[in-house]
Amino acid sequence: MASKIASRIVEAAKAHSKTVEKYIGYGTAGFRTKADLLDHVMFRVGIVSALRSKMVKASIGVMITASHNPEEDNGVKLVDPHGEMLEPAWEVLATEIANLPDEKLSERIVSLIETSKIDLSTRSSVIVGRDTRQSSPALCQAVIDGIKAVEEDSEIANFGIVSTPILHYLVVCTNGGGTYGEPTVDGYVSKLVNAFRTLIGDDNKRGKYEPSLIIDGANGVGAVISEKLLKGLENTLNVNLINLGPPGILNYDCGADYVKVQQREPLNVTSNCGTRCASLDGDADRLIYLYFDDAGKFHMLDGDKIALLLAEHFNDLLKKSQLNLKLGMVQTAYANGSSTNYATKVLNVPVTCTPTGVKFLHHAAQEFDIGVYFEANGHGTTVFSDNAIKTIQDAASTGSNAAAKELAGFLNVINSTVGDAISDLLAVEAILHSKGWHIQDWDEMYQDLPNRLFKVSVADRNLVTTTDAERRVVTPEGLQERIDNIASKFKDGRSFVRPSGTEDVVRVYAEADTQENADKLGKEVAAAVGELCSGNN
Ligand code: 16G
Ligand code: ZN
């Protein structure tokens, strides 16, 4: 049987031959590069996904997207059966297979089948989705060709245009036999709509909360999904959906990454817009809020602010409902120092710090009954342990425990499978409504310390290695000492550096009491990185 696969692969590979020299690796967010370099990678990812599905005897997800990157890029990532990121050993394998010359491909696949003892009689099942990029349909076809090369009769559920978090949801629902929800886009939409409507109840205004907002769809899939969802939320949320797609350019001067990095409003939002705005990224797994105050000053509420809003509210509800569940938060070194401070000192909620990348945060959050995890860039969600789900549902069903009922509503509105901008948005809106808050009340929970990000191009970014969740440098020797010395000159100074997982640069983060100091601190550290990574040391 393996030899049959080998000949089918040789045949099918002719249409997806590797004509590109560039080495392409499976990074933090899967394979990602210019779209026109990816045809052979997609075909091979199709092969890998079919084999992985046979091996784990479950459905595997494949998402074609380059998230917040520009339109000319694209990428792909695999989703394991419980909705988690692909197992690390298979990331290595996927990289190896993606970079083999054509003539070595079928031979390697046969040896993989043998060494991993993959049972070929198990039918492979792959769930495929893509974002709105022009290059995505053809790349999606290449994935499907790869899946079929392994097994003509593979079960392929091609959902077309979906957000990354919907793809994760579909994988979890399919493998869970529907206990998490119905494995369709309509199932996802109605789960969220019903949960949100239940949380808001009959009166969508409360205190200073007004149900009007702008959603910036980043000209991507978030706009498509929001449109579907908002039909079901008429009379509950009053949304002005902007940056809906072509002729608007994907992620161009809009979207969550643009707002976070540029620290400014997206295209088509003005300082007199009179309401809050929520920016999604190109595949709708990141969320950043912003607004202008009465004086016309811009304010941004990033992943840290969202995390603290969720953690504070859930903490409150746990106290009110008298449920004994352990709430915790997970952040990365990029989390603003003030947010960590607020969590640990004011809320008394434990905070775990992990390296950058969703898989680390998600995993660490599962250590708590209720684990709220967010990256400052707006990616995050809340995970609930089986014990938490049962405890909350039991208490909610007694009828008299209003706080437990509200928590049960959040169980359904939150997409726990992965960070989901649209589900997070509904959770934020439900909390602001519950508290009767204006966005300014939320913003004033704590004041962010001024901060700045820099990139340094060096000969080899992997010269920089780190420890302690990326907070301290191990190599090059002497760099950490330099960073310590520089940071100590600034009040509230904190800085760290790490090699990027998605770009060929070393990233520098700096935070201090004033913007000027944060900028200075970052510049000095960037100079030290440049010097010690110049290759002369
Ligand atoms: C990827 C990660 C994201 C992380 C970012 C960092 C996933 C699904 N995505 O987009 O969590 O923040 O990489 O990029 O893990 P960097 O290494 O270039 O700074
Ligand atoms: Zn994204």
Phi, psi of 276 (to 5 degrees): -80, 160
In CATH terms, 303-443 corresponds, of 3.40.50.2300, 2.60.40.1930, 3.40.120.10, 3.50.50.60, to 3.40.120.10
Span 133-156, average pLDDT: 98
Alpha-carbon distance 65 to 62, whole Å? 10
Among the bound ligands, the one closest to the CA of 29? 1
Assess whether the C-beta atom of 141 lies below 6 angstroms from ligand 1.
no
Residue type, 226: S
Ligand 1, residue 419: give the atom nearest the CA.
8
> Ligand 1: which residue has its CA nearest to atom 3?
357
- Fold matches, 2-161 and 451-532: no
Q: How confident is the model at residue 3 (pLDDT cuts 50, 70, 90)?
A: confident
Among the bound ligands, the one closest to the CA of 221? 2
Span 29-33, average pLDDT: 94
Residue type, 311: A
Domain boundaries, the chain: 2-161, 188-300, 303-443, 451-532
Query: How many angstroms separate the alpha carbon of residue 7 from the centre of ligand 2?
Result: 37
Using DSSP's 3-state secondary structure scheme, residue 237 falls into: coil
Query: How many angstroms separate the alpha carbon of residue 29 from the centre of ligand 2?
Result: 9
Assess whether the C-beta atom of 40 lies below 6 angstroms from ligand 1.
no
Alpha-carbon distance 75 to 386, whole Å? 33
CB atoms closer than 10 angstroms to residue 154: 20
Helix and strand counts by DSSP (H, E) for the chain: 18, 19
Assess whether the C-beta atom of 68 lies below 6 angstroms from ligand 1.
no
pLDDT tens digits for 63-108?
999 999 999 999 999 999 999 999 999 999 999 999 999 999 999 9
pLDDT at 537: 42
Residue with tokens 């809009």: 254
Assess whether the C-beta atom of 501 lies below 6 angstroms from ligand 1.
yes
Query: How many angstroms separate the alpha carbon of residue 105 from the centre of ligand 1?
Result: 29
Query: How many angstroms separate the alpha carbon of residue 72 from the centre of ligand 1?
Result: 19
Ligand 1, residue 285: give the atom nearest the CA.
8
Between the CA of residue 139 and those of 16, 47, 156, 157, what are the distances in Å? 10, 14, 15, 16
pLDDT at 535: 57
Contact 54/9 with Cβ under 8 angstroms? no
Q: How confident is the model at residue 483 (pLDDT cuts 50, 70, 90)?
A: very high
Ligand 1, residue 68: give the atom nearest the CA.
10
pLDDT at 29 over 90: no
Q: How confident is the model at residue 2 (pLDDT cuts 50, 70, 90)?
A: confident
Which residues are catalytically annotated?
A: 67
> Ligand 1: which residue has its CA nearest to atom 4?
357
- For 59, counting Cβ atoms within 10 Å of its Cβ (0-12 exposed, 13-18 middle, 19+ buried), the class is buried
pLDDT at 536 over 60: no
Assess whether the C-beta atom of 356 lies below 6 angstroms from ligand 1.
yes
Q: In this prediction, what percent of the chain has a pLDDT beyond 90?
A: 96
pLDDT at 35: 98
pLDDT at 534: 83
Residue with tokens 């993606």: 98
Contact 447/338 with Cβ under 8 angstroms? yes
pLDDT at 327 over 90: yes
Probe residue for ligand 1, chosen from 26, 69, 379, 504 as the CB with the greatest number of ligand atoms within 8 Å: 379
Among the bound ligands, the one closest to the CA of 286? 2
Assess whether the C-beta atom of 377 lies below 6 angstroms from ligand 1.
yes
pLDDT at 65: 98
* pTM (two decimals): 0.96
pLDDT at 503: 84
Assess whether the C-beta atom of 28 lies below 6 angstroms from ligand 1.
yes
Which residues is 465 bridged to in the sheet?
A: 475
CATH architecture for residues 451-532: 2-Layer Sandwich (3.30)
Structure tokens at 166: 């919907």
Contact 245/224 with Cβ under 8 angstroms? yes
Query: How many angstroms separate the alpha carbon of residue 163 from the centre of ligand 2?
Result: 9
Average pLDDT, the chain: 96
Q: In this prediction, what percent of the chain has a pLDDT beyond 70?
A: 99
> Ligand 1: which residue has its CA nearest to atom 11?
357
pLDDT tens digits for 181-212?
999 999 999 999 999 999 999 999 999 999 99
Span 227-237, average pLDDT: 94
pLDDT at 398: 86
Q: Choose among 509, 377, 416, 414: nearest CA to 28.
A: 377
Query: How many angstroms separate the alpha carbon of residue 102 from the centre of ligand 1?
Result: 30
pLDDT at 375 over 60: yes
Query: How many angstroms separate the alpha carbon of residue 283 from the centre of ligand 2?
Result: 5
Contact 53/60 with Cβ under 8 angstroms? yes
CATH architecture for residues 2-161: 3-Layer(aba) Sandwich (3.40)
Among the bound ligands, the one closest to the CA of 69? 2
Assess whether the C-beta atom of 375 lies below 6 angstroms from ligand 1.
yes
Assess whether the C-beta atom of 133 lies below 6 angstroms from ligand 1.
no
Torsion of CA 109, 110, 111, 112, to 10 degrees: 50
Vertex 68, ends 66 and 73: CA angle to 5°?
40
Whether the ω angle into residue 355 lies within 30 degrees of 0, i.e. cis, is: no
Residue with tokens 């898989």: 359
Q: How far is CA 285 from the centre of its chain?
A: 5
> Ligand 1: which residue has its CA nearest to atom 2?
357
Assess whether the C-beta atom of 379 lies below 6 angstroms from ligand 1.
yes
Which residues is 298 bridged to in the sheet?
A: 292
Domain 188-300 matching CATH 3.40.720.10: the answer reads no
